[in-house]
Structure 1
Amino acid sequence: MPDSFFRAACYFESALTLVAIVLGWLLNVDPFTDLTFNEQSLANGLLLTLPLVLLFFAMQQLPYVPLQHIRTLLLETLGARLHRCHWTDLLILAAIAGFSEEALFRGVLQPWLENITSLTAGLILSNVVFALVHAVTPLYAALAMLMGLYLGMSLDYGGERNLLTPIVIHALYDFIAFTVILRDYRNHLSRNRHAHTDSTNQ
């Protein structure tokens, strides 16, 4: 059964949808104006997730100290708190996060900033905010900024604006990342148990 942290994470991410709706009402922007469910946008989302996933796995192997710090941080936070979850729990959390965060940042903030500035400025400024709310470390914030820009540009992939594309990318990427983090954390626990058993038997 998922624990309280999982439930709290789901509630928090779900609340961002409400924030998107309220903020959209205040700014006169409908978060879901550009959300259309069609096979092409779904396929685009699946396809555009691949480069992010390849980059994620590549960064897992790099011996760069700030990246190692992020990996350790994620293991100690997400890994430690979600390691009892089933993969379906991870899928639910990733889907909620993908939908809610994209509704807020790409459904409200980006189009509003585009309307009052320009397409390029709206893209950049909305993702400065996206980076700031993900500023776990300076490098993590920079990576979040780059990912946000990628998600923002995917909004218009194929020549037709559709929020479904970044939602799919965000949710699928998060699910894969969660799965890898939990796998690594469980392997870490297993190694520690074996090491403790070996030391006890000596």
Structure 2
Amino acid sequence: MRSRASSLAAEDPGPKSGPEVPLSTVLLFESGIGVVGLLIAWAFGIEIRLGRTDATALAAAAAGFAVLAALFIVVVRVRWVPLQRINAKLSPILKTLFAGRSLGALLLISVVAGVAEEILFRGALQQIAERYLSPAGAIVATNVVFGLAHAITPAYAVLAFAMGVVLSVVLVVSDSLVAAAATHAVYDFFALALYLRSRRGCPASK
């Protein structure tokens, strides 16, 4: 029996260490979000303005990233049941999409996702909301949608709402969609790389 078990163990290659979803599929999906944003902007006659790229935009992006990184660390470290449920739900999703990818691939995904989601939510939807609501109301309305789009759990929807508010504030303070997209992309890369490393799903070095 022991030799048979050893033989079976030797024949079983074990779970795949790489991601289960091709990189091209992830990039295509994320890019599609940006295309949807551009189509919505076109339909409502909205110009997607990149905005400023000066020191103010850089400072706003840096401050926004610091807040998002702090929120991420709280979610990962604090042992509170709703936050633990987020981790439990996210772990298999992140493993399927990202485990085993190189840092370069994670960076590429983060940049595409950050740019695409900001085009949709802050570039298009927030400008539409500003036509009907106050600036604060537009931020709230936009990020209710942002939170619902990330509603893996109720707590994660609330967390995504809060993170979206941070990104909206970066946009308003800096008058720069570039700053909001940069904040989003850098945060995504930081969170993915750190989370996967902490779960022993460390990205490949190649």
**Residue pair 1:14, 1:97 contacting (<8 A) in 2 also:** yes
In the alignment of these two chains, the number of paired residues is 185
Match of 1:8 among 25, 28, 48: 25
Deviation at 1:140, TM superposition (A): 0.3
- Secondary structure class of the residue paired with 2:101: coil
Matched, 1:35 2:51: yes
- Secondary structure class of the residue paired with 1:30: coil
Matched, 1:156 2:198: no
Match of 1:135 among 151, 155, 178: 151
Distance 1:47 1:118, change over 3 A: closer
1:45-71 per-position Cα deviation (integer Å, ceiling 9, x unaligned):
123201221221132111111211211
d(CA) in 1 for partners of 2:125, 2:93: 28
What residue number does 1:126 align with? 142
Point out where structure 2 has 5 or more consecutive residues left out of the alignment. 1-17
d(CA) in 2 for partners of 1:11, 1:187: 23
Distance 1:39 1:7, change over 3 A: farther
Amino-acid identity (%): 32
One-letter code of the match for 1:8? T
Matched, 1:178 2:192: yes
Match of 1:99 among 115, 139, 143: 115
Deviation at 1:40, TM superposition (A): 3.7
Matched, 1:21 2:38: yes
- Secondary structure class of the residue paired with 1:63: coil
d(CA) in 2 for partners of 1:29, 1:76: 38
TM-score (norm: length of structure 2): 0.82
1:118-173 per-position Cα deviation (integer Å, ceiling 9, x unaligned):
2122111111111111111100000011111111111122xx51111211111111
- Secondary structure class of the residue paired with 1:48: helix
Deviation at 1:3, TM superposition (A): 5.8
One-letter code of the match for 1:170? H
**Residue pair 1:135, 1:141 contacting (<8 A) in 2 also:** yes
Q: Which is higher, the Rg of structure 1 or of structure 2?
A: 2
Point out where structure 1 has 5 or more consecutive residues left out of the alignment. 189-202
d(CA) in 1 for partners of 2:31, 2:52: 20
d(CA) in 2 for partners of 1:5, 1:137: 25
**Residue pair 1:106, 1:163 contacting (<8 A) in 2 also:** yes
Considering fraction of residues, name the structure with more helix.
1
**Residue pair 1:21, 1:30 contacting (<8 A) in 2 also:** no
Equivalence map 1:55-94=2 (5 Å): 55-94=71-110
**Residue pair 1:16, 1:100 contacting (<8 A) in 2 also:** yes
